[in-house]
Amino acid sequence: MSKILVTGALGQIGSELTRTLRKLHGEDQVIATDVRQPDLSTHPHNGPFETLDVMDEQQVHQLIEKHQPKQIYHLAALLSAVAERNPQRAWDLNINGSLHIFEAARIHQVERIFVPSSIAAFGPSTPLDHTPQDTIQRPNTMYGITKVATELLGEYYYKRFGLDCRGVRLPGVISYTTPPGGGTTDYAVEMFHYAVRNEPYTCYLRPETSLDMMYMEDTLRACVEIMEADSSKLKHRNAFNITAMQFTPAQLAAAIQKHIPSFVCNYEPDPMRQAIADSWPNSMDDSAARQEWGWKHEYDLPRMVEIMLNALQK
């Protein structure tokens, strides 16, 4: 088997994706990289780890030349809420960092590269219910702008240089191991932590704000499956809408209350994050992913809630 390199490997998705890829391909075949050093007490990394700042172009080239990966999962990025607090840095990391990865991948003949996009690639002028695969994309957040640009960059590198760039537009991802960092959908993870501690939770979104969400297991499977999909069947390639469930904070709180009736959720909308959430789809249409590479979610809201509560109560 040939090597795989993961950027952002200590993040919410990266930490679990690295573990999944190592199970599939072997410990030493997957090179985990991150700008931070792993905390070995919480993150025992069994396979190879390298410190990598994707904004350092030279370091990116050196590392890819050294390991000669055949595939890259490029996850290093700033999420929506932190990006809005520091838009210039978000541009630099999400755009220039990605360009360094694309360029190094092209020069060192990486065969396939995964770059996630997001529900944030849509904006207020997009049809927000059953958002089609191909539709208006005029996001008004820096995170969203960088995601649209990266989708286009991926398509450009595929058509112009034959670098096989693949990806999905991820919804909010819910998991219990590594916490998410600075997204607008993070409330859906935080609420569980408060609920199991029997503490009231104050949500920064209004109770009726609907967003697409997905449990981590489905997310990991989607990342791997799109990379393994038969190229000849893909009409789209690097920005598939995928979803598993849609809910509002009020619906999530009610689903948790079925298990913990005393759980209380209060609402104090934060204008910045509320505006971001309002500009994103209420629900995405992911039929293109279902048709072209057989995407199918396995976890719905009740199942996800049960798993999350059980895991966090342990």
Name the segment binding ligand SER (CB under 6 A); options: 118-126, 247-255, 258-266, 305-313.
118-126
Binds ligand SER (CB under 6 A): choice among 15, 18, 33, 80: 80
Residue 134 CB, nearest distance to ligand SER (Å)? 19
Residue 301 CB, nearest distance to ligand SER (Å)? 17
**79 binds ligand SER, rule: CB under 6 A:** yes
Binds ligand SER (CB under 6 A): choice among 18, 118, 131, 241: 118
Smaller CB distance to ligand SER: residue 256 or 277?
Answer: 277
Residue 190 CB, nearest distance to ligand SER (Å)? 12
Binds ligand SER (CB under 6 A): choice among 11, 97, 154, 183: 183
**184 binds ligand SER, rule: CB under 6 A:** yes
Residue nearest to ligand SER as judged by C-beta position = 183
**What are the backbone angles phi and psi of residue 67, rounded to the nearest 5°?**
-95, -15
Provide the b/e sequence for 43-74 (b: ≥16 CB within 10 Å).
bebebbbbebbbeebebbeebbeebebebbbb
Residues 185-214 that bind ligand SER (CB under 6 A): 185
Residue 80 CB, nearest distance to ligand SER (Å)? 3
**168 binds ligand SER, rule: CB under 6 A:** no
Task: Annotate each residue in 38-77 with x if it binds ligand SER (CB under 6 A) or - if it does not, as one string.
Answer: ----------------------------------------
Q: Report the distance separating Cα 265 and Cα 195, nearest Å.
A: 9
Which residues belong to the active site? 143
Name the segment binding ligand SER (CB under 6 A); options: 54-62, 90-98, 181-189, 304-312.
181-189
**170 binds ligand SER, rule: CB under 6 A:** yes
Q: Report the distance separating Cα 69 and Cα 21, nearest Å.
A: 13
User: Please, what sign has the CA dihedral across residues 35, 41, 43, 45?
Assistant: positive
Binds ligand SER (CB under 6 A): choice among 120, 148, 252, 255: 120
Size of the site for ligand SER (CB under 6 A): 11
* Footprint on this chain of ligand SER (rule: CB under 6 A): 79-80, 118-120, 143, 170, 172, 183-185
